[in-house]
Structure formats: structure tokens, C-alpha cells
Amino acid sequence: MALPAQDRWDLVDAITRRTVITGAYRRNLGDVLGDLTVKPLTGIPVAVAVLYAFWSIFCSFAGDLLTDGFMVKAFDNRWLPWLQGVWPDPASIHYFLFVGDPLAGNCFEAFGVLTSGLFVAIGVVLPAIFIFYLMMAVLEDSGYLPRLAVLTDTVFHRIGLHGYAIVPAILGLGCNVPAVTGIRVLETRKQRFIMMTLLAIFIPCGAQLGVMLEVIPDTMGWVMLFLIIGFGVFGFLLDRIIPGSNPEILVDVPAYHWPLWENVAKKLMNRTKSFLKDAVPFVLLGVLIVNLLYLVGVIDALAVLLEPVFVAWFGVPKETVGPLIAAFLRKDLAVAQLSTIAMTPYQMITAVVLVSIYFPCVATFVVMLQEGWRELLAAVGVLMVTVFVYGGLMHAIGILMGVA
């Protein structure tokens, strides 16, 4: 027989009195740090320090230690000479496709499937992806990311989003594919569309960052500055153009705790496996397709056709047509190809920004399609306008500054 409601509550009270011990709560170090890192006065400097440390470790580990210290030597001094020596007939088509330039002294310049393709994927991108996802997992499991979301809420509201947009934004610096999936943490259709579009245009993935760190370390900061400015300006415009609401953030902020290294290792392994499975084949396929297009003359024909736009409007050489085609397969591959073209420093900055804001790679394109074909077509329309307008503005800035 069921007890009346009041009797049930009396029973709950009786059990509580016997089992629950009450007392004064004592704040610990985690509580103090939690408060300091969520309040703007102290939290913003901590956020700047955390993101700076994130970037410094990323550059030092991925660029200096693994890529320059080990991978470059292994590929350029061992793998490339061996491959050039054992592969038959340097004048053949298959040599051009798979080994590349027989006179190349490094894997970047060779641009073959088994030289540039493997070096970009394994030698440059894999170390960058590994260290990025390791640090990302630590920030997630420690409880810091929700506090970063609270701190950035005011800034993101200026472009029609809220603070939790920082999660797909940071994910996008690793890979845009999970980042586009991550936009589902945003409540409204308007917010999801704005974030998906900005991700596809202005946030370079970890693979692209790794290659940029290798081939344009001196001008990479300028590229990132132009992308950050574009993210803010075009986000502000999209918020004013697209109808819809911008609800306030509602997020649970957990207590700080030490990450469980088993969870960190599991996340790192799954995300790295996903990269090896999904990205590496596209890099190799991209090199093969671009080389085939060079062989049949498609790249040269497009370069001649688009020369007025690229030279007069964007201020970059017509040879950048090839990397833009490769960018649809893999943007890291496109940046690697740009490094072999003779350009001024400002032209290189403009060209890399164009590759970044150009069509998302095919894997991201497919994930965007899953959000709806109308959203995809609208995002592509915004993207085309952005490329034309922003590329022209960069050229105009270069002319005014006398560096174009």
C-alpha cells in the first residue's frame, strides 16, 4: 500500500537525519582558483596566459622538437634520397606522380605522393595534431573550458554567439570536422549557422597550423591576425544580417580536479586514430590529383584564365591557382604547395589567408552538408563573397602600406 505524500516526505527527513552529517564548508585551493579564473578582473589575464602557454607548447613541441628536430632529418636525409635512388626511370609519369621532382633536395619541394604527401601528413601534421589534442584533453578534463566559456561570453555576444562557442572554435584549431559537429552546443539555428560559417572560413585547422609553422614561421602571426580580424568583422555583420535570437549562456561550471590520465589517453588515441584514418588518405589523394591536373594542363589553363582576378584583385601570382584547387582536398597540402612559389612576404601572407578562407576541405564540406543543404549553400555564398571582398581589402591595405 502506497504511503501518502506527507508520510513519504517524513520518511525522507528521518532517513536524512540519520545519514547526513552537516557542518561548515571549508574552501579549498580549487575553490579559490575556480573563483579567480571565472571573474573578469583575474580570469582574463589567466586566460591569456593559458592560451599563450597552449600556443607556445604547440609551437615548441610540434614545430621545433618533432618536425624540425626529427621528422625533417628523417624524411629529407633518409627517406627522400632512398626513394629517389630505388624508383626507376626519373623521366616517367609514375615517377613524377609518386616521387616528384628528381632534382628536389627536400620533401616539400619534391611534391610527390610518397614524398610531400607522406611528409606533410606524418612529418608535419601528425605531431601538431598529437600535441594539440593532448592539451585540449587536459583543459577539458580539468574543468577549465567552462570557465573560459564564461569569460568569453561578452565578446562572442557581439557576433551573435555566446561563450560556449569557444569550444567549437578551439576544436576547429585541431580539426574543423569535430568543430562543425560541436556547434550543436549552441541553441538557435542562427547561432549554429554563424559559427559553422565562421569555422569554415576563418579558423585554420591544426594540420594547416603545423604546415604554416614549418614554412612561414616569420609571417604566421600576420596571417593569424588577419584571420582573427575577419572572424570578428564578418561575425558582427552576419549577426546584423541574419534574423534570430541570441539567448544567454547557461552552463554548469564544475569544480577543478586533476585530469584522469586514462581518459586523456583514450581521447588522445581516438582523435589521433580519426586523423590517421580520415585525413592522411585525403592528403595523399590530393597530391595525386593535383599532379594529374598539372600533367593534363588543367592547372596552367586555369592559371591563365584567372590571372586577372588573382594578380589585379588579390595581388598574388597566378601560380596560386594550383594550391587553391588542392585546398578543397587538404588546406595543409595547399599551404605546403604555396611555399614553393616565389612571392614577396606580403603576397605570401595574402595567399595563405586566401587558402584559409577559401572552400573548406572536403571532409568539413561533407559534415557541413549534414547540417542541411540550405545552410551549406548559404555558407558557401557567404564564403564566396568573403573571399572576394576580404582578399581585395588585403591587397588594398598592402598597396597603401607599400608592401603589396
Match 595523399 to its residue by C-alpha cell.
284
**How confident is the model over 383-399, as pLDDT tens digits?**
889 989 999 999 999 99
Residue 187 lies in a domain: yes
Which percentage of the chain shows pLDDT scores above 70?
95
Concatenated DSSP letters of 299-328: HHHHHHHHHIIIIIII-S-GGGHHHHHHHT
Inside any domain, residue 106:
yes
pLDDT at 230: 93
6 within some domain: no
Nearest to 388 by CA among 234, 178, 267: 234
With a CB cutoff of 8 Å and minimum separation 6, the contacts of 87 are: 95, 98, 99
Q: State the pLDDT at residue 87.
A: 92
- C-alpha 351/C-alpha 337 separation (Å) is 11
The rounded mean pLDDT for the chain is 84
Cell numbers placing 98: 609518386
Structural domain count of the chain: 1
Cβ neighbours for 77, distance < 8 A, ≥ 6 positions apart: none
Which tens digits make up the pLDDT trace of 272-326? 887 777 677 877 887 888 888 888 888 788 878 888 888 889 999 888 887 887 7
Distance of CA 122 to the CA centre of its chain: 17
Residues 1 and 349: their CA atoms lie apart, in Å, by 77
Residues with Cβ within 8 Å of 357's Cβ and at least 6 positions away in sequence, in order, are 201, 202, 227, 230, 383, 386, 387, 390, 391
Highest mean pLDDT among 88-102, 237-251, 284-298: 88-102
Does a structural domain hold residue 256?
Answer: no
Q: Do the beta carbons of residue 101 and residue 308 sit within 8 Å?
A: no
Residue 86 pLDDT: 92
Give the domain range for residue 370: 33-245+277-401
Provide the 8-state DSSP code for 106: S
On whether residue 49 sits in a domain, the answer given is: yes
pLDDT attached to residue 393: 93
| 71 in a structural domain | yes
- Spatial separation of the C-alpha atoms in residues 63 and 307, rounded to whole Å: 34
Looking at residue 225, its pLDDT comes to 93
Output 241 or 171, whichever has higher pLDDT.
241
269 located within any domain: no
Q: Per-residue pLDDT for 1 more than 60?
A: no
User: Is 55 contained in some domain?
Assistant: yes
pLDDT at 394: 93
Distance CA 364, CA 383 (A): 14
